[in-house]
Amino acid sequence: MNIESMPAFSLSVEALQKIIAALDTDYQRYKNMGLSLDMTRGKPCAEQLDLSAPLLSLPGDAYCSMGNIDCRNYGGIDGIAEAKALFAEYLSVPVENILVGGNASLSLMHTELTIAMLRGVQGVRQPWSRLPNVKMLCPSPGYDRHFAMCEAFGIEMLPVPLLDSGPDMDMVEQMVREDALIKGIFCVPKYSNPTGITYAKESVLRLAEMETAADDFRLFWDNAYAVHDLVDDPVPLENIFDACEKAGNPDRPLIFGSTSKITFPGAGLAVFASSTKNLNSTIEFISKKSIGPDKLNQLRHVLFLQDRHGISRHMKRHRAILEPKFNAVYATLGNCLGNAGLAKWTTPDGGYFVNLDTTAGGAAEVIKMAADLGVAFTPAGATYPYSHDPRNSNIRIAPSYPAVDEIEKAIEVLSLCIKLYAYNSILSRKRATE
Amino acid sequence: MNIESMPAFSLSVEALQKIIAALDTDYQRYKNMGLSLDMTRGKPCAEQLDLSAPLLSLPGDAYCSMGNIDCRNYGGIDGIAEAKALFAEYLSVPVENILVGGNASLSLMHTELTIAMLRGVQGVRQPWSRLPNVKMLCPSPGYDRHFAMCEAFGIEMLPVPLLDSGPDMDMVEQMVREDALIKGIFCVPKYSNPTGITYAKESVLRLAEMETAADDFRLFWDNAYAVHDLVDDPVPLENIFDACEKAGNPDRPLIFGSTSKITFPGAGLAVFASSTKNLNSTIEFISKKSIGPDKLNQLRHVLFLQDRHGISRHMKRHRAILEPKFNAVYATLGNCLGNAGLAKWTTPDGGYFVNLDTTAGGAAEVIKMAADLGVAFTPAGATYPYSHDPRNSNIRIAPSYPAVDEIEKAIEVLSLCIKLYAYNSILSRKRATE
């Protein structure tokens, strides 16, 4: 979007000044309300957490897992059999390729990066930390915590545009073919954070098949929203495990998932799936830092969720809570911004975010204005490596946590700030060119 | 102990042959029993785990922590306030110096080593992984998992004798003063694994005060058995946090603890205590790999254990279960080996192990013979860095898990193997010198 193509660009300076004056009045009105609303994080609301209430008093007396293993005691470094079976079904990966861990998939990703940095990935024992530089492709906009982790490891992040079909694969293929220091790519392949797109089959196959200069190239496949649908018949995600195996690159994918947004974000389970070689290397590494994960919590989850049908039923209940919240975002944006071309936004089939783009250069200013009115959005740039949004236009909206009336209020404020920014920009431009 | 000083050394060859023949008959008798007993690990028994049964259905509806924080949701990277307060009391460390984590203190130690290797410890930003070599002092015999962790990080382990008062401090002081590549020491200061000794006050003070060539020297203070008493009035352990602060080395100690042997080894809590600088550095690091620990499990533990009096009452119940098991070890060893000088063993005031020394050169052979009879002991050498017990005499006995009658049987077998080894050794020696 550029300013000149907006319908409002044809307005006279006087008309624009009148609109802006009215918006300023609205701005003062909201300022006087003393709002305090938080739209920053993809955090389930209390009502969603209530759906998993039975977990709070499980497992009760049923503390043994298959084969009469006492889950209260030490052991079982890769998780209990029932939990592995549940996640094998969940990710469509063979059960022998599954490891179930603690409560954060982020920790499992961090572990994989630590292994790579300190010892090198399995089979290719060149520790990345001994290289002059390590680079990672980062489809953007993307998940800020992936970027923060790369930065903490001193990994150079190379942004790649995230299209509606997934990462720009022409660019990805060329970069990985030419540069052996590019060691991986961070992907949220389903209901991508924040744009909500699901990678097209062709993109998944190209990621599996592409030729890489680095023979220890890895796909960090963060399938965080595998079952987090907001529509009835979502487009399925191609199976990366199978695709890589078929392409002769079985060790390429490192697949992650969790129940953070299925049960409790603060007390869920995380899962890692990969080739037998990768899994063995991981188990060897983590067996030095733990005698096993919290097996009782795994048991608790299996007793509650049971199987993929149980998960599916449970996710429908989440959807019933989330859908009105997403709809409130769309409705409020539609009401306030209409078709004026001041911003565009997504209506994702699942996940936790609505992605909004202002006119170029507007995101930081809009977010700042909204903050002045007491409405917090994810900081501008956060969805890009090094917090650098090259167009300064991306705003991530997380509607899960606030109530519907709070969302409406917050999006009214956002819309107002977008309008103020846009009309002021048009006015300045017109004056400059007069 | 050496063979020549044993009373049995004065026996004639014929008398020795007669004794050995009788022992061989016993050996066959045990062989025919087809035993399968495991004395390898310091693992609580089911009866001990039953003491914490209420945890299995907690927290119920009480899922909020102080300040109405919903423990089901994201957040709280350093643990919930109540859990920090509980462990501050437990370790006698200010609450602001406490971090409560997941279910394994080993993971927290691993995190501290990872920080040191990849980024360098707080204040001294030289990553250890960039040094030509990193060395760690390892009082021995010691905890095999500490040694395995060092080995995995490529850290050179330097064994230091563990005396009844703690590490040989003359040796420690000299080594750390002279070698700047010695970056730390691994200590189990109370009821040391496996010898059961508690560091004397003087040893603790010397560790706090000693001059180190490395300005990023760290005490890895694994206080795993802080409240695991087997007697009424145990000798208290000097407070390392206070001692280091007083000595002007506030950043030196990294203190670890856990509820693994208080509640559930597979689903407990771990704690880290250190200076504000160290803690901040740790929090910064772990905030990149997690959005927070399992807060519900922390809540569960606080609701169950309540405070240090609650912990104290609970530990008395553990003692009631453990004491007869330790007594069974002493009684059986006494009955079978008497004062023949064939072995010496500890009678610790707490902890999880009885430490036994055979005559020099005997441990591996004795453990092998016992294994042939179906009784597993921790592999010979495991209590030393690189599994190298220089005298090949140390055997770790873990009496917590088996039942009393199993312990008696296992220690009978052990005693028999010790006798067989000893008498055969004497016989060979006598023949060689005839």
Is B288's CB within 8 Å of A76's CB? no
Between B75, B117, B288, which is nearest A149 by CB?
A: B288
How would you classify the pairing of strands A253-258 and A270-273? antiparallel
How far apart CA A172 and CA A362 sit, in angstroms, is 28
Query: Looking at residues B184-192, what average pLDDT do you find?
Result: 98
Q: Which residue range forms the structural domain that includes residue B138?
A: 65-306
Distance set, CA B413 to CA B334, B383, B427 (Å): 13, 21, 21
Most distant CA pair in chain A, distance: 82
Give the model's pLDDT for residue B98. 98
B339 belongs to a structural domain:
yes
pLDDT, tens only, B5-38: 788 888 999 999 999 999 999 999 999 999 999 9
B126 belongs to a structural domain:
yes
Does A357 share its domain with A249?
no
How would you classify the pairing of strands A270-273 and A354-358? unpaired
Query: Looking at residues B75-91, what average pLDDT do you find?
Result: 97
ipTM over 0.90: yes
- Quick check: A369 and A421 in contact, CB under 8 A? yes
Does B41 share its domain with B139?
no
Residue A124 predicted with pLDDT over 80: no
Q: How many domains does chain A have?
A: 2
Does B255 share its domain with B404?
no
**Residue A288: its chain B contacts at CB < 8 A?**
110, 145, 148-149, 152
- Quick check: A265 and A44 in contact, CB under 8 A? yes
Does A363 share its domain with A295?
no
Does B272 share its domain with B154?
yes
B60 belongs to a structural domain:
no
How far apart CA A281 and CA A276 sit, in angstroms, is 8
A269-297: string of b/e by CB count within 10 Å (b at 16+)? Answer: bbbbbbbeebbebbeebbbbbbbbbbbbb
A16 belongs to a structural domain:
yes
Residue A2 predicted with pLDDT over 90: no
Residue B123 predicted with pLDDT over 70: no
| CATH number reported for the structural domain that contains residue B28 in this entry | 3.90.1150.10
- Last residue of a domain, which of B306, B339, B370? B306
Decide if B125 touches A, using CB distance below 8 A. no
Is A267's CB within 8 Å of B117's CB? no
- Quick check: B328 and B406 in contact, CB under 8 A? no
Q: Which residue of B has its CA nearest to A288?
A: B149
Structure tokens at B398: 């873990």
pLDDT, tens only, A56-71: 999 999 999 999 999 9
Give the model's pLDDT for residue B41. 87
Give the model's pLDDT for residue A103. 86
Does A36 share its domain with A82?
no
Q: Which residue of B has its CA nearest to A267?
A: B294
Between CA B102 and CA B108, with CA B104 as vertex, the angle to 5 degrees is 80
pLDDT, tens only, A221-238: 999 999 999 999 999 999
Give the model's pLDDT for residue A433. 80
- Last residue of a domain, which of A308, A324, A343? A308
pLDDT, tens only, A314-331: 999 999 999 999 999 999
Residue B187 predicted with pLDDT over 70: yes
Does B283 share its domain with B352?
no
Percent of chain A with pLDDT over 70: 100
Residues forming beta bridges with residue A256, ordered by sequence position: A222, A272
pLDDT, tens only, B256-293: 999 999 999 989 999 999 999 999 999 999 999 998 99
Query: What pTM value is reported for the model?
Result: 0.96
How would you classify the pairing of strands A37-38 and A182-187? unpaired
What is the full DSSP assignment across A105-169?
HHHHHHHHHHHHHHT-STT----GGGSS--EEEEEES--HHHHHHHHHTTPEEEEEEEETTEE-H
| CATH number reported for the structural domain that contains residue A259 in this entry | 3.40.640.10
Q: What is the mean pLDDT of chain B?
A: 96
Residue A129 pLDDT level (bands cut at 50, 70, 90): confident
Does A318 share its domain with A288?
no
A401-434: string of b/e by CB count within 10 Å (b at 16+)? Answer: bbeeebbbbbbbbbbbbbbbbbbbbbbeeeeeee
Is B289's CB within 8 Å of A110's CB? yes
Residue A390: CB partners within 8 Å, gap ≥ 6?
A159, A384
Decide if B231 touches A, using CB distance below 8 A. no
Is B71's CB within 8 Å of A267's CB? yes
Residue B2 predicted with pLDDT over 80: no
A158 belongs to a structural domain:
yes
Does A412 share its domain with A277?
no
Between CA B263 and CA B274, with CA B268 as vertex, the angle to 5 degrees is 115
Residue B9: CB partners within 8 Å, gap ≥ 6?
B3, B426, B429, B430
Residues comprising chain A, all counted: 434
B71 belongs to a structural domain:
yes
- Quick check: A152 and A145 in contact, CB under 8 A? no
A346 belongs to a structural domain:
yes
Give the model's pLDDT for residue A6. 82
Does A289 share its domain with A406?
no
- Last residue of a domain, which of A290, A308, A326? A308
Does A22 share its domain with A96?
no
CA distance A105 to chain B (A): 8
pLDDT, tens only, B198-233: 999 999 999 999 999 999 999 999 999 999 999 999
Give the model's pLDDT for residue B129. 86
pLDDT, tens only, A148-166: 999 999 999 999 999 999 9
Decide if A295 touches B, using CB distance below 8 A. yes
Does A132 share its domain with A34?
no
pLDDT, tens only, A23-45: 999 999 999 999 999 999 899 99
Give the model's pLDDT for residue A1. 62
Is A103's CB within 8 Å of B289's CB? no
Q: What is the mean pLDDT of chain A?
A: 96
Is B103's CB within 8 Å of A106's CB? no
Residue A309: CB partners within 8 Å, gap ≥ 6?
none
CA distance B149 to chain A (A): 5
A55 belongs to a structural domain:
no
Amino acid at A416: L
Is B289's CB within 8 Å of A61's CB? no
Q: In B104-198, where does DSSP find H-type helix?
A: 105-118, 144-152, 169-178
Give the model's pLDDT for residue B1. 62
